[in-house]
Amino acid sequence: MKKLILVFKEKFNFNRISKKNRVKLQTFLNFDITNFLQRLSVNDMTISTYDYKFIDFNENEVFVDLHFKSISKNKILMTLDQKDTHKSYYTQSSKILTDMFMSGFIKSISRNISSPITNLLGAIELIKLKNNSEEHDRLMRIISDEGNKIKNYVSMVNSFNSNITLENEFSNIHKCLNKSFDLIDKNLIKNIYVNKDFDPSIPEISYNESLLIKCFYNILINFYENKKCTEIKIITKINHNTFIKSEELQKVLKLPIHVKIIGNGISLDENIEKFMFYPFITSKANAEGLGLTFVNSILSSYGGHFKYEREKNLSTFNLFFPINKNRR
C-alpha cells in the first residue's frame, strides 16, 4: 500500500472537520482509493474527485475537492481543497426560499395564465359584437397568440416532468453549443466577444439534442442579457480521471466530459445566488426563473452534474456529462 501524504491549501485545516466526517473520509479512502491507486501506479497522472461535503465543528458546511498525484515510487500526494465559491444543489428549506418561490410563482401564473385567459375571454366577447372582417381577423390573431402563450408555458413547465420519456440521438456537443447561439437575439450577440476552446477528442453522446441546445442557451442568455458582460469563454475537455461526489445518489460518479461556460459582469444578490437552481427564483423583472432549473433537471436526468462557481467578477457554469456505454 502506498503512503498518503496529506497537504492542505491555505484556507483549509484538517482539525476543522468533525469526527463524523473523519469516518466518512476514512470510508472513502478504504473503498474508492483502491481504484485510484491502481491508476496512479500505472501512469504519472493526477486524479481528482469533486464536491465532498463536510460539516465542521461550528456546524458549517464546507465543500472539498480531493486531488491525488503520484510523487515518487511509494508516495502519493493527496490535496484537500476547500471550495469557498462552491454553488451547487441546496436542499434546505427556509422562509426566504418560501417567500421567494411563492412571489415568483404568483407573478409567473399571473403573467402566463391569468392575463392570457382574460385577453381570450375579452376577445371572444368582442367577436360576438363585431361583424367587420378586418376587426374579426385581428381578434382571431389575439386569440391565437394568447392561446399559444398558454400552450408554450404549459409545455415548458411540463418539461420538468421526470416521467416523460426522452427521445435521444447521438449528438456532437460542440454542434449543440454552436446551435445554441442561433437562438440568441442578433442585437445581443454583437456586443460580446466569444472565445471557444473545444476539445476535438470528445465523442458523440446519446442525448436529446434539442434539449441539450436549450440547456446551453439557458446558460448563455444570462450573460447576453447582462449589459456589463463583455466576454464569454467556453471550454470543453475530456478527463477520464474526473469524479463527482453525488450527495443525492450517495455515490461517486465518473463524468469525464466537462463543459465550462465563463463570463464576466454577472452580479447576483446573495439570496438569489444561493437558490438560483430552484424554480421561479430570478432577479429579472420579466423572466420566469426556470432556465437554470431546466438545465439542472435535464442534466440530472442523464446522470450528469451542474455546478455554479463565482470568483471576483467571473461567473462559471460547469456541466459534467457521462459518456454513454453504447456511444459511437
pLDDT tens per residue across all 328 residues of the chain: 333 444 434 333 444 445 555 545 555 554 455 666 666 666 666 666 666 666 655 666 666 666 777 766 666 676 766 655 434 333 333 445 545 665 666 667 666 776 677 777 777 777 767 666 777 777 777 877 877 777 777 666 666 555 555 678 888 999 999 999 888 877 777 778 889 999 988 888 888 888 899 999 989 988 888 778 889 999 999 877 667 665 555 566 677 889 999 998 776 666 666 667 776 666 665 666 677 878 887 887 777 888 888 877 888 898 988 876 544 4
pLDDT of residue 49: 67
pLDDT of residue 53: 65
pLDDT of residue 234: 94
pLDDT of residue 63: 67
Q: At 87, phi and psi to the nearest 5? A: -130, 115
Q: Using a cut of 0.75, tell me whether the model's pTM lies above it.
A: no
Q: Name 325's bridge partners.
A: none
pLDDT of residue 259: 93
Q: How many CA atoms lie within 13 A of 29 on its CB side?
A: 18
Read off the C-alpha cell for 65. Answer: 475537492
CA distance 51 to 55: 13
Read off the C-alpha cell for 66. Answer: 480531493
Nearest partner of 50 among 318, 266, 268, judged by Cα: 318
CA distance 79 to 180: 37
Dmax (CA) of the chain: 91
| Contacts for 267 with CB less than 8 Å, ≥ 6 apart | 228
Name the strand (E) or helix (H) holding 107. Answer: helix 95-109
